[in-house]
Structure 1
Amino acid sequence: MPAGQAHTTWFPELKDILKNKWNSNYSIEQHFSLVTDLNEKLRQIRKELNIQPPMMWCPNCQKRHRSRFNDVSITGMYYALKRFEYCDTDEFNKLLRDWKQYSKSENVDIYGNKKTDKREL
Structure 2
Amino acid sequence: MRMLKSAVVAGAVALMFASAPVAQADRDEAFADQLHTYGIYGQKDYNAWIAKLMCKRLDNGHDADAFASAEFVHGQLNRGSTTDQAWQFVGAAVPVYCPNQASALQHAADR
Normalised TM-score (structure 1): 0.35
Structure of larger gyration radius: 1
Which structure shows the bigger proportion of residues in strand conformation?
1
- TM-score relative to the length of structure 2: 0.37
